[in-house]
Structure 1
Amino acid sequence: MSRKALLKRIECAYLPVKDVAASAAWYERVLGLKLRSPIDPGRGAIMIMDSGQWLFLLPCWDGHPLHFMTTGWTDDGSPFEMFPICFETDDIHTMYDSLQQSGVWTEETVRDEGGCGLQLDFKDPDGNKFQVWQQPVAAGIPAQ
């Protein structure tokens, strides 16, 4: 018997940051997210993505960024620092340029993964690791 999935989508995500105001400014300036309400340094900030979903930036003074090690992401089983969240974008090349200008760690280039689209791993200033993904390019239309 087939059972309907009880989880519909991820509504929001909670990100650990050391300095809420500095992180909120970075997410606005570099990623174009919008601040939902005034920043409360002790409680955090809410950033709104283009889809309307929320990212909560929560104070975490002991500096434990989001990432973990896995061997399930590489062909040879070697350890890989995994990202727990993959975002979607409509303009990965502009995002790459913005990330590069901000000085954070990014992969050297945007990867074209064919049917899996364009992909890029990056970290925010607190070391939280993410992947960003763009839909595969339509047939006959080259990637930038």
Structure 2
Amino acid sequence: MSGKLMRVGTVYVPVTDVERSARWYADQLDAEISYRDEDKAIANLAGQSFFLVKAAEGERSNFIDVHGEERFSLTFEVDGLDALQSVHAEFKAKGIRVGEIENRGHAGRNFVFADPDGNRFDVWSELSPAYKELIRTKSKSNA
């Protein structure tokens, strides 16, 4: 099966107010809004399309794990601890709800942030090896 599923193209995020959420993703996360109607908006961010879909009140993309903890379903990657600390400070300065930078016992550090509807997202200080290789290959071909 390896190689058949090439990439994640779209992530669906439940929101209560499409207009408010589209503005928030654009203003706070620098997403490009490429489409909007009363039921959905497309926010392009981190090489992905996030469909902000009008959902019932209280719907969120989070889930509860076996220990009763509310979890995020998506992790963004940044390039190193300095980048993580910079993004964390920027998000705090913008008033985004952010958790503390954590050591979870694996490589790198993480923090969690939430959008206005309470959808939680993780940020990790380590770029995946495949993405690093892609960047390295692209930079060599552009040189």
**TM-score scaled by structure 2?**
0.74
Name structure 1 gaps, 5 residues minimum: 72-77, 137-144
Match of 1:81 among 70, 74, 78: 70
Counting only pairs closer than 5 Å after superposition, residues 59-138 of structure 1 correspond to structure 2 as 59-71=54-66, 78-90=67-79, 91-107=83-99, 109-113=100-104, 116-135=107-126
Where 1:24 maps in the other structure, the secondary structure is helix
Higher helix share: 2
Tell me the alpha carbon deviations over residues 49-94 of structure 1, each in whole angstroms, 9 at most, x when there is no partner.
132x1001011132211111113xxxxxx32211111122343223
Query: Structure 2 vs 1, CA of residues 50 and 79 (structure 1 numbering), >3 Å: closer, same or farther?
Result: closer
| Superposition RMSD in Å | 2.2
Name structure 2 gaps, 5 residues minimum: 128-143
Distance 2:51 2:74 in 1: 13
Q: Which amino acid aligns with 1:6?
A: K
Distance 1:30 1:57 in 2: 15
Q: What is the aligned length?
A: 124
Deviation at 1:43, TM superposition (A): 2.5
Matched, 1:21 2:19: yes
Distance 1:95 1:20 in 2: 25
Distance 2:2 2:39 in 1: 36
Tell me the alpha carbon deviations over residues 20-73 of structure 1, each in whole angstroms, 9 at most, x when there is no partner.
111111111111111113x21x2311111132x1001011132211111113xx
Q: 1:67·1:82 contact (CA, 8 Å) conserved in 2?
A: yes
**TM-score scaled by structure 1?**
0.73
